[in-house]
């Protein structure tokens, strides 16, 4: 769609899982109320816009995927602007504002946005508004909301500037004064998210497109004795505030119930990322003792009859269903228990006001209602504010309605973070907490995201165990609490744990004719190749592995591979190998005690372990964490990295662990090189660049 209005701006989004698109749609929706017209396109629709000739301001919302890559939809665009033959003044006519989305739990935070931003700058384009980098780890909305709030003033200034530039000769003066005003208006973006919110509230800003609702009856909320807020209760000032709540998103989905005849689609049709393989689980081992805080399981899959290929260090994805009893419960609450096996057809509502509304691609054209709820929708997703806003309309009790309004309002931002986001609240928890809320099925389909396959690092070697693939995971637990009536397990890890229970508990074991446990069931997997987290191509190069907890998983694959290579090629030269491993208790969760075997047969040259929660009787306390033992081996670590040009690998489920390890490495380099920290940090950056310092960190 192209609009020739003077207050037009071009709005481009590059989305992977739909978040950047949803935010662009929010901007598009708000634009009208601010007197602008957003000409919105997916960045991949390159025939619908032309940055080479674009005169109006451009707003770009772009997410990050994989290991810091721009989303698939931006690939062509990025390739085009990265053309090295483009002159440095290629985009000098362009004014833009960019909002990057990312997750600081991953390396290369917001790298998709940063890459585009950097390149546009190199080509002469100018910011009319400071770049916003929103972090899904703490809540995108903490940056997104104030960024959008500040956008309108910046756009106004940018358009004014453009007009002045066209009409006057002293354009240079106009540029600097207008830009400085726009930048002043958004300087809060640099502050911490919490402070930003306070600031906005202090300023008493009111957007014209948000409903400013006066509180009619504050007694609706909580009895006076409740001085502590909770998911369902609020306290002053929130309970007494007028609320700024988001505009109600237009409905756009229609669900038609059909017959009960037919077959559901094959799971492989739900996966767009590549070929799926249905493989049996042949072995399950509990690696932790019953009294360990977390339960770690190792599963073995039989991939012999498939074309599935992997290298040690690769990750792969498991297609997982939602918990069936949760789905039954949801159907019951929706009043659709009788309809679970009915085939449904999901369509876009005729005449919907939602811009660019389309049928969600993750919902099959024809499948049963249960199939959709089990395999297609992330029913455990933490509800976004737009969803809460929509739920307000389906809630009959006035007190519940008010609390839902608070939770999606600007005034209730910290309640949202505390009671929804940080508490990992899901739709079912909300429906229990707000029993008069009765959403329609179509609303759930509109707001629940796609159920994503979960990634796991391979913990085996195809050389060592041909036709087998192993992986290790912790069963994620969400304990019951004030916001959750029952405890829950992670979607995928809970499902896998249940699936393999017969393999773990001998009494329930199904025995085949040879008396061995047979496989329990099959799971669908597909590859997620990792380009860099692999063994050094040259076996004579030494390497260091740091993998606390389940982070040890890929290194078992590395060591198995190395052991096999040593057996097959006794004449080759093999570099030394170091493994730093840590866990809570030596007895309860020392995963892979068989590491000693690798040590004994010479595959592993040095094994360093530490236990963070074991009490010690010795005078000098032993090191607790992997970074502590690394520091004790400073000389050797520095030698491997600097003199021997070795590799350094970190894997684990906590970003702060990876950061602590990096800090230790910087200290080690600075100490051993007798250089300052800045110099050591530069060396580390160089090692990363050379792909000799590699991280595989998830959370």
Residue of 108, 526, 574, 698 interacting with ligand FAD (CB under 6 A): 698
User: Is omega for the bond preceding 212 within 30 degrees of 0, making it cis?
Assistant: no
> In terms of Cα–Cα distance, which of 339, 321, 328, 329 is closest to 429?
329
Answer yes or no whether residue 473 interacts with ligand FAD by CB under 6 A: yes
Q: In what order do the strands lie in the sheet with 296-302?
A: 454-457, 315-319, 522-528, 277-286, 296-302, 468-474
CB closer to ligand FAD, 128 vs 456: 456
Smallest separation, CB 623 to ligand FAD (Å) = 23
Site for ligand FAD in 599-618 (CB under 6 A): none
Residue 683: Cβ within 10 Å count: 19
Stretch that binds ligand FAD, among 71-79, 187-195, 454-462, 683-691 (CB under 6 A): 454-462
Region from 170-178, 222-230, 441-449, 450-458 binding ligand FAD, contact rule CB under 6 A: 450-458
Residues 6+ apart with CB under 8 A from 110: 64, 100, 101, 102, 133, 134, 135
Taking CA 554 as the corner, what is the angle to CA 687 and CA 520, rounded to the nearest 5 degrees? 160
Q: How long a stretch of residues is the chain?
A: 699
Binding test (CB under 6 A) with ligand FAD, winner from 34, 283, 454, 608: 454
Site mask for ligand FAD (CB under 6 A), range 346-365, x = bound: --------------------
Residue 457 in contact with ligand FAD, rule: CB under 6 A? yes
d(CA 630, CA 668): 9
Examine residue 104 and tell whether it contacts ligand FAD (CB under 6 A): no
Beta strands in 409-531 (DSSP E): 454-457, 468-474, 477-478, 488-489, 522-528
Shortest distance, position 590 Cβ to ligand FAD, whole Å: 17
**60 versus 270: smaller Cβ distance to ligand FAD:** 270
Q: Which helix (H) or strand (E) holds 100?
A: strand 95-102
Position with the least CB separation from ligand FAD: 490
Q: Rule CB under 6 A: choose which of 155, 492, 626, 669 binds ligand FAD.
A: 492
213 near ligand FAD (CB under 6 A): no
Residue 456 binding ligand FAD, by CB under 6 A: yes
The interface mask with ligand FAD, positions 628-667, x = CB under 6 A, is -------------------------x--------------
Q: How far is the CB of 593 from ligand FAD (least distance, A)?
A: 19
Q: Is 13 in the site for ligand FAD (CB under 6 A)?
A: no
The 3-state DSSP class for residue 587 equals helix
Q: Of 140, 315, 444, 658, which lies in the binding site for ligand FAD, with binding defined by CB under 6 A?
A: 315
Q: Do 655 and 697 contact (CB within 8 A), yes or no?
A: yes
CA–CA dist 425, 381 (Å, integer): 8
Q: Say if residues 12 and 59 touch (Cβ distance below 8 Å).
A: yes
Task: Work out whether 455 is an interface residue with ligand FAD (CB under 6 A).
Answer: yes
Between CA 310 and CA 316 the distance in angstroms is 9
**At its nearest, how many Å lie between ligand FAD and the CB of residue 66?**
9
Q: Is the dihedral of CA 322, 323, 329, 332 positive or negative?
A: positive
Angle at 403 between CA 401 and CA 409, to 5 degrees: 105
The answer to whether the beta carbons of residues 464 and 561 sit under 8 Å apart is yes
| x/- map, 402-441, ligand FAD, by CB under 6 A | ----------------------x-----------------
Residue with tokens 């087998």: 468
Beta carbon of residue 79, minimum distance to ligand FAD (angstroms, whole number): 24
Please name which of 489, 449, 491, 455 lies closest in space to residue 472, comparing C-alpha atoms. Answer: 455
Alpha carbons 538 and 541: distance in angstroms, whole number: 6
Residue of 550, 577, 627, 670 interacting with ligand FAD (CB under 6 A): 550
Is there binding between residue 493 and ligand FAD (CB under 6 A)? Answer: yes
Maximum C-alpha span of the chain:
92
How many CB atoms sit inside 10 A of residue 539's CB? 16
* Residue 460 interacting with ligand FAD (CB under 6 A): no
- Tell me the Cα Rg of the chain: 28
Q: CB of residue 61 vs ligand FAD: minimum separation in angstroms?
A: 23
Does residue 491 touch ligand FAD according to CB under 6 A? yes
Q: Scanning the structure block, which residue is given the tokens 């309004």?
A: 405
Q: Which of 63, 62, 65, 58 is nearest to 40 (CA)?
A: 58
Nearer to ligand FAD, 474 or 603 (CB): 474
Confirm or reject binding of residue 380 to ligand FAD (CB under 6 A): yes
Which of 64, 474, 483, 662 lies at the binding interface for ligand FAD (CB under 6 A)? 474
Contact range with ligand FAD by CB under 6 A, out of 233-241, 271-279, 470-478, 610-618: 470-478
Distance of CA 500 to the CA centre of its chain: 27
Shortest distance, position 581 Cβ to ligand FAD, whole Å: 15
Binding segment toward ligand FAD, per CB under 6 A, in 108-116, 411-419, 489-497, 662-670: 489-497
Beta strands 522-528; 315-319: pairing state: antiparallel
Site size for ligand FAD (CB under 6 A)? 22
In the complex, the smallest distance separating the C-beta of residue 661 from ligand FAD, rounded to whole angstroms, is: 17
Sign of CA dihedral 164, 166, 167, 168: positive
CB of 109 to ligand FAD, least distance (A): 14
Binding site for ligand FAD (CB under 6 A): 315, 380, 424, 454-457, 471-474, 476, 490-494, 550, 553, 653, 698-699
């Amino acid at each position: 769609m192209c609009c020739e209005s003077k207050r037009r701006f071009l709005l481009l989004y590059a989305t992977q899982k739909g978040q950047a698109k949803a935010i662009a749609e929010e901007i598009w929706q708000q634009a009208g109320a601010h007197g602008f017209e957003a000409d919105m396109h997916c960045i991949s629709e390159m025939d619908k816009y032309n940055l080479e000739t674009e005169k109006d301001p451009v707003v770009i919302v772009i997410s990050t995927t994989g290991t810091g890559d721009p989303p698939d939809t931006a690939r062509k665009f990025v390739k085009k602007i990265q053309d090295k033959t483009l002159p440095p003044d290629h985009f000098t006519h362009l004014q833009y504002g960019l909002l990057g989305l990312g997750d600081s739990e991953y390396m290369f935070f917001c790298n998709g946005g940063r890459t585009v931003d950097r390149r546009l700058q190199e080509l002469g384009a100018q910011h009319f508004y400071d770049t916003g980098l929103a972090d899904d780890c703490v809540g995108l909305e903490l940056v997104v909301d104030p960024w959008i709030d500040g956008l309108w003033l910046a756009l106004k200034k940018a358009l004014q500037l453009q007009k002045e530039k066209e009409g006057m000769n002293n354009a240079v003066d106009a540029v600097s004064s207008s830009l400085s005003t726009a930048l002043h208006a958004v300087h809060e973006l640099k502050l911490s998210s919490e402070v930003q919110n306070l600031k906005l509230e202090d300023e008493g800003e009111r957007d014209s497109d948000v409903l400013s609702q006066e509180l009619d009856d504050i007694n609706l909320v909580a009895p006076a004795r409740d001085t502590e807020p909770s998911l369902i209760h609020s306290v002053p000032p929130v309970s007494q505030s007028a609320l700024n709540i988001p505009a109600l998103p237009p409905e756009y989905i229609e669900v038609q119930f059909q017959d009960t005849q037919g077959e559901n689609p094959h799971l492989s049709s739900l996966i767009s990322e590549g070929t799926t393989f249905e493989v049996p689980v042949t072995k399950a081992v509990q690696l932790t003792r019953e009294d360990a805080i977390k339960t770690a399981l190792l599963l073995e899959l039989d991939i012999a009859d498939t074309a599935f290929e992997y290298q040690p260090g690769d990750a792969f994805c498991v297609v997982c269903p939602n918990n069936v009893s949760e789905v039954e419960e949801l159907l019951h609450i929706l009043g659709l228990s009788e309809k679970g096996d009915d085939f449904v057809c999901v369509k876009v509502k005729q005449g919907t006001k939602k811009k660019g509304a389309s049928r969600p691609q993750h919902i099959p054209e024809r499948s049963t209602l249960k199939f959709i709820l089990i395999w297609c929708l992330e029913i455990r997703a933490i509800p976004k504010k737009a969803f809460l806003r929509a739920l307000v309309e389906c809630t009959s009790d006035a007190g519940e309605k008010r609390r839902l309004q608070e939770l999606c309002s600007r005034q209730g931002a910290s309640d949202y973070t505390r009671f929804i986001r940080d508490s990992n609240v899901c739709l079912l928890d909300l429906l229990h907490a707000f029993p008069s809320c009765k959403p329609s099925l179509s609303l759930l389909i509109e707001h629940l995201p796609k159920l994503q396959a979960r990634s796991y690092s391979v913990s085996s070697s195809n050389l060592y165990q041909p036709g087998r693939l192993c992986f290790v995971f912790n069963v994620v637990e969400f304990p019951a609490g004030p916001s959750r009536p029952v405890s829950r397990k992670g979607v995928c890890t809970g499902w896998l744990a249940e699936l393999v229970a017969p393999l773990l508990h001998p009494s329930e074991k199904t025995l085949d004719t040879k008396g061995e446990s047979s496989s329990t069931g099959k799971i669908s997997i597909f590859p997620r190749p990792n380009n860099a987290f692999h063994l050094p191509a040259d076996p004579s190069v030494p390497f260091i592995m740091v993998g606390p907890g389940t982070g040890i998983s890929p290194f078992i694959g590395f060591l198995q591979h190395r052991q096999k290579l040593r057996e097959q090629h006794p004449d080759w030269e093999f570099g030394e190998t170091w493994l730093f491993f840590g866990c809570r208790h030596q007895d309860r969760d020392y995963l892979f005690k068989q590491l000693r075997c690798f040590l004994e047969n010479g595959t592993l040259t040095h094994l360093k372990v530490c236990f963070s929660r074991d009490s010690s009787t010795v005078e000098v306390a032993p090191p607790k964490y992997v970074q502590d033992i690394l520091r004790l081996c400073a000389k050797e670590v520095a030698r491997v990295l600097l003199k021997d040009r070795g590799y350094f690998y970190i894997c684990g489920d906590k970003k702060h662990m990876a950061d602590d390890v990096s800090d230790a490495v910087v200290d080690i380099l600075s100490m051993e090189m007798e250089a300052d920290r800045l110099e050591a940090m530069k060396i580390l950056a160089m090692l990363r660049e050379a792909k000799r310092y590699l991280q595989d960190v998830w959370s």
